Amino acid sequence: MSSHSAIIASLSDNFERALASGDLLFFPSTVYKHNDHGIEFEIRLCTALQQKPSLPTPHFDPAAEGKPVGKAHKPDPFAPPYIPNLYLGEIRDEEDDSEYVILLNKYSVVPHHILLVTKEYKSQASPLLPAELAQIYTFLVAARQAGRHFFAFYNCGDLSGASQPHKHVQFLPIEDDGPPIERLARSTSIEVITRPFSLTTLPYANHVRRLPSNLASVPRSDLEGSLSDAFLSLLDLAISTIRHDGDYPPGSPSYNFVLTLEHMHVIPRRREHHVLQKTGDQLSVNALGFTGLLLVKSEKELDAVKMEGVGKILRDVGLESVHELQLEEFSHETD
């Protein structure tokens, strides 16, 4: 078994080894800034991704624990035997005896993109458990202690932009001021740290909790409790938002989850793709889009995204905010 800090320490060497072996494919890209709704979005153009085969959206069954769902001939890339050069180690949670495998992302647009995968098969449509939340946060802390900055994201459900049905959380390195959405969250003034808030300048439903500043140093039970309380409060709001949408597609709710050391974000989803008006192309959006980081595969897509507006695109794949209505409902419940 490995430690979080050991995996972070070995990340650079392992990435270079996997790249040199050909087991990891790195796609160079160019980042363009685009201001919209008070955020400086980053649109990453990666033309090489046009050569990557497009995979159909997998079927996610939240009740399927212990075995994958779908066509029998489709292998699970997150099941053993692991590709040695992509395998970074395993983590055992001593509190609940769950185990996780840490893998390099085989198709990398950003170096050092890693995955935390449940060793036992669990569904990507299932919510994050307290022990999983603690493991995610512990990785972020280990990276910060090593002088590195990551954020984590989880695409949950059929409409979230997830590409694999096996439960996995992704970690991406970032500059120390965080992804664009985090800068907006950090600048938002709130009165009660334990109360969820919304980034109201954004045109889509979003739910945020600010995390205690001492969370990295609290006992494990307190860490789980704090993260679970935040997650469940945001998930309740996301489901409430979905219930206010009379045309929401049938099936389990889909959402995107983003975690930094300072904030937790949950964004409900109503569709996976946005159809660009200028080109007619489908633009797949996952949690990264809602952090302020979008990915396009051609100059045509880049121009189309800029012309249409990132906020409008995210609103199309997200939901209308009913935050004010939810505040009223909360106020009536507590009267």
- In tens, the pLDDT along 206-244 reads 999 999 999 999 999 999 999 999 999 999 999 999 999
Looking at residue 111, which CATH number applies to its domain?
A: 3.30.428.70
Which of 56-70, 162-176, 219-233 has the least mean pLDDT?
A: 56-70
Mean per-residue pLDDT over the chain, rounded: 91
Tell me the pLDDT tens digit for each residue of 6-28. Answer: 999 999 999 999 999 999 999 99
For residue 162, is it within any domain?
Answer: yes
Position 17 in a domain: yes
Within-domain flag for 128 = yes
pTM of the model: 0.93
Q: For residue 55, is pLDDT > 90?
A: no
Is residue 59 in a domain?
no
Tokens standing for residue 61 = 């069954």
Q: Is residue 61 part of a domain?
A: no
pLDDT value of position 335: 47
Is residue 268 within 8 Å of 242, Cβ to Cβ? yes
Domain region containing 116:
3-50+77-333
Which pairs from 29-32 meet CB under 8 Å and 24+ separation?
29/109, 29/295, 32/302, 32/306
Please report, rounded to a whole number, the percentage of residues in the chain having pLDDT higher than 90. Answer: 81
Number of compact structural domains in the chain: 1
For residue 227, the one-letter residue type is: L
The reply to whether 285 falls in a domain is yes
Res 56 pLDDT > 80: no
- Structure confidence at residue 72 (pLDDT): 42
Contacts of 26 (CB under 8 A, 6+ apart): 19, 108, 109, 111
Question: For residue 9, is it within any domain?
Answer: yes
User: Residue 334: is its pLDDT beyond 70?
Assistant: no
What stretches of the chain adopt beta strand conformation (E)?
25-26, 30-36, 39-45, 87-92, 99-104, 107-108, 114-118, 150-156, 168-173, 207-210, 254-259, 263-269, 273-275, 282-284, 293-296
Determine, yes or no, domain membership for 164: yes
